[in-house]
Amino acid sequence: MAVNGFRKLPSLASAARSVLPTRRPAARAGHTASAEGKVAGTGQLKRVSVEGNIAVGKSTFARLLQDAARGWEVVPEPVSKWQNVVADDAQFDGLGAQSPVSNLLQLMYEDPARWAYTFQTFSCTSRLSTQLRPPPPGRSPPVRVYERSVYSDRYIFALTMFELGFINAAEWAVYQNWHSFLVEQFGPRVQLEGIIYLRAPPEICMKRLHKRGRKEEKDIDLAYLQKLHAQHEKWLKDRKTRVHFEHLKRVPVLVLDAGLAFDRDAEVQRRFIEQVGTFFGDL
């Protein structure tokens, strides 16, 4: 039975109240070509994450960037890994694929008090491996754009799960120790040179979430999106979240108004690409 733990547990309610060939017309306008040149000229890989609330449009925006300039490579969030957790010793099906043992995303939404900690350890390691993955052969893109990062794993989601009581004090201490240790071990390889914050009211995210209709998310309520929104604002707009990595304290953040129709309005797309190009160029 899919009972939504986020609604069921009282702690939530109370806590929550308190680059490829240029293809698109926007890119053909010439903005990305010059922006791309600026970045490419530095000869150094820049790593940027796109952050924002659930369903704000990160994947949609990432596709826009991917299509905009040859030197921008988008690395998607590894959601399907969370939906299809495979054990190392899993059996192979007749077609040579490993059978998934569970859908951790669904478990986490159904019973967050039981699964939030497990989810955060898995989401974070899968993000780490995504961030460490080398570029495709023959391509050394000047800008890699990640959908979320090991930093939002901690400073948005794990922190929220702790504040809502779904991760207990012992689990939170273990997670933080483990996160700091791993991130410090990988050092510059998992650092970000910039962050793009797609910012929109939670009510808009709720509408988009319903429009997308991902089955695991069907019972997410507005209070949860409001809580995540406040966490994003504190970290990326007010810069009041206490972060534990020196480079992250100074990382430049580009805030974009994601309430706009950047999914279909060519003028908004052109403006966003131009702003992003300038931002990348300045990193």
Ligand X SMILES: Nc1nc(=O)c2ncn([C@H]3C[C@H](O)[C@@H](CO)O3)c2[nH]1
Ligand Y SMILES: Nc1ncnc2c1ncn2[C@@H]1O[C@H](COP(=O)(O)OP(=O)(O)OP(=O)(O)O)[C@@H](O)[C@H]1O
Q: Residues annotated in the binding site for substrate, as ranges?
A: 77, 109, 120, 148, 153, 217
Choices 20-28, 55-63, 153-161, 239-247; region in contact with ligand Y by CB under 6 A:
55-63
Contact 272, 258 (CB under 8 A): no
Give me the 72-91 binding string for ligand Y, x by CB under 6 A, dash otherwise.
-----x--------------
The Cα 36–Cα 34 span in angstroms is 5
Pick the closer one to ligand Y by CB: 59 or 118: 59
The CB-of-71 to ligand X minimum distance in angstroms stands at 26
| Touching ligand Y, residues 217-256 (CB under 6 A) | none
The Cα 95–Cα 131 span in angstroms is 30
Determine which one of 147, 171, 216, 274 is catalytic. Answer: 147
Distances (CA, A) of 220 to 4, 9, 42: 8, 13, 43
Is residue 54 part of the contact set for ligand Y (CB under 6 A)? Answer: yes
Distances (CA, A) of 112 to 142, 160, 164: 39, 11, 10
Choices 89-97, 107-115, 186-194, 207-215; region in contact with ligand Y by CB under 6 A:
207-215
Choices 49-57, 136-144, 224-232, 243-251; region in contact with ligand Y by CB under 6 A:
49-57
Contact 13, 258 (CB under 8 A): no
The CB-of-274 to ligand X minimum distance in angstroms stands at 27
Choices 33-41, 162-170, 177-185, 261-269; region in contact with ligand Y by CB under 6 A:
261-269
The Cα 228–Cα 15 span in angstroms is 11
The Cα 6–Cα 67 span in angstroms is 37
| Residue ranges that bind ligand X, judged by CB under 6 A | 54, 77, 79, 105, 108, 116, 119-120, 123, 153, 157, 161, 217
The item of ligand Y, ligand X, none sharing an interface with residue 157, based on CB under 5 to 8 Å by kind, is ligand X
The Cα 64–Cα 270 span in angstroms is 10
Contact 156, 232 (CB under 8 A): yes
Active site residue 110: no
The Cα 80–Cα 92 span in angstroms is 18
Is residue 173 part of the contact set for ligand Y (CB under 6 A)? Answer: no
Pick the closer one to ligand X by CB: 39 or 228: 228
DSSP 145-180: EEES-HHHIIIIIIHHHHHTTSS-HHHHHHHHHHHH
Residues that bind ligand Y (CB under 6 A): 52, 54-60, 77, 208, 211-212, 261-263
What positions carry a catalytic annotation?
147
